[in-house]
Amino acid sequence: MEFSGDRFDVVVVGAGIMGSCTAYEVAKRGEKVLLLEKFDFLHHLGSSHGESRTIRATYPEDYYASMALESYRLWEEAESEIGYRVLTKTPHLDIGPAANKSLQCLIANCEPNSIHAHLLDRSRLRDMFSGAFQLPEQWIGVATDAGGVIKPTKAVAMFQASAIRRGAVLRDRMEVTDIKRDEEGGGIWVSAATGDRFWGRKCVVTVGAWMKKLVKAVSGLVLPIQPLHTTVCYWKIKAGHEKEFSPEAGFPTFASYGEPYIYGTPSLEFPGLIKIAMHGGYPCDPDRRDWASGFGAPVDSVIPWIERVLQGRVEAGKPVVEQACMYSMTPDGDFIIDFLGGEFGKDVVVAGGFSGHGFKMGPAVGRILAELAIHGEAAGFDLKHFRLRRFGEDPKGNAKEFEDQVSYPNHE
């Protein structure tokens, strides 16, 4: 293997959106970077594949709003560098019972983050978005301009191409099996199942649903990251209403708070179909997935929601297309972005547990990880909510004043 034995400033392990953005940001800073991936690039076995991810700035937690807005800027910057688009801008709509705590916190976070939000009651919402949303009594809506749909596989490919253009070295079919300190010269040795060994001054680990396994194997530390097998569903729009659900007609990306939390995107990737899915899934082993187990609750719980909210516009019988994917859940739904510590000190940075809402943040996370690896700090970002050791202080992690949004059986 031609690069085995070469020395890099940073070795990034895992080429989903987080690793690919990190490799790009490191290369952009003129450092020598190697990105290693276990499967083929752009595979569909992790979390960053497929046709659509929502970007929105509205969050119940105030620390995500500014990160999402910064990402929005970085998505556009990356698009103008490569010359094509991966993001389709749309409005974003949050709905739910007026008394829902998450929704209330989300509304409270808009103004301090300069997010222009329109608070809508049932009747005002009936006049918007072609009348598609029929809210139950006591429900409200919050509409903002900062929404959009990102094409995930294309976006990962974009960051990989931009990284290569800036001198990054990318290698797939390269499963990392060990990460060790270089006791003689300092730095880190990264070993692959192929027998290849790579040296990096620093190493960044972004292996998604495999974080718990790899970090435990390397350091003995057990990260509370639970992989969830989830299913994305596409539903048929009733004849005559197809255009109303398109981005051209101004249809928004949306999130529906309460139990279950439902999200969706405008009709884009499959004409005549709309993506509507439940935020949740089943615990799984990323190396032993039962591809059929996505059926059941994550799909069934969407049906009554469609009947209730998108009355008469979408066929609620059964989804036309279903696609499997994985979440990496932390107990508090917050990311883990930190130095591994212990014998690795600040030489190994770990980033995982993106808990079903990380894709939009990829460019900002890539920037943070590049700066942590190169400079030992990420200027302008407050990372205290993403500390690895918060779970040692409280196994539930960050305290929240609102309910869980992601549903899955047997919380660990």
Ligand X SMILES: Cc1cc2nc3c(=O)[nH]c(=O)nc-3n(C[C@H](O)[C@H](O)[C@H](O)COP(=O)(O)OP(=O)(O)OC[C@H]3O[C@@H](n4cnc5c(N)ncnc54)[C@H](O)[C@@H]3O)c2cc1C
Q: By the criterion CB under 6 A, which residues form the site for ligand X?
A: 13-19, 36-39, 46-48, 53-54, 175-176, 206-210, 214, 230, 232, 325-327, 352, 354, 356-360
CB of 258 to ligand X, least distance (A): 18
Residue 213 is classified by DSSP as H
| Pairing mode of beta strands 348-352, 197-205 | parallel
Burial call 165-178: b when 16+ CB within 10 Å, e when fewer:
ebebbbbbebbbee
- Quick one: 319 or 352, whose CB is closer to ligand X? 352
- Quick one: 44 or 318, whose CB is closer to ligand X? 44
CB of 289 to ligand X, least distance (A): 12
- Quick one: 134 or 283, whose CB is closer to ligand X? 283
Cα distances (Å, whole numbers) of residue 248 to 91, 117, 242, 245, 360: 11, 21, 11, 8, 21
CB of 144 to ligand X, least distance (A): 15
Residue 237 is classified by DSSP as B
d(CA 409, CA 278): 14
- Quick one: 261 or 391, whose CB is closer to ligand X? 261
CB of 310 to ligand X, least distance (A): 18
CB of 291 to ligand X, least distance (A): 14
- Quick one: 81 or 175, whose CB is closer to ligand X? 175
Per DSSP, helices labelled H in 222-301 are 297-300
d(CA 203, CA 200): 6
Structural contact between residues 237 and 267, judged by C-beta atoms closer than 8 angstroms = yes
| Cα–Cα nearest to 228, from 412, 54, 388 | 412
CB of 139 to ligand X, least distance (A): 22
- Quick one: 124 or 269, whose CB is closer to ligand X? 269
Q: Which residue is nearest to ligand X (CB)?
A: 16
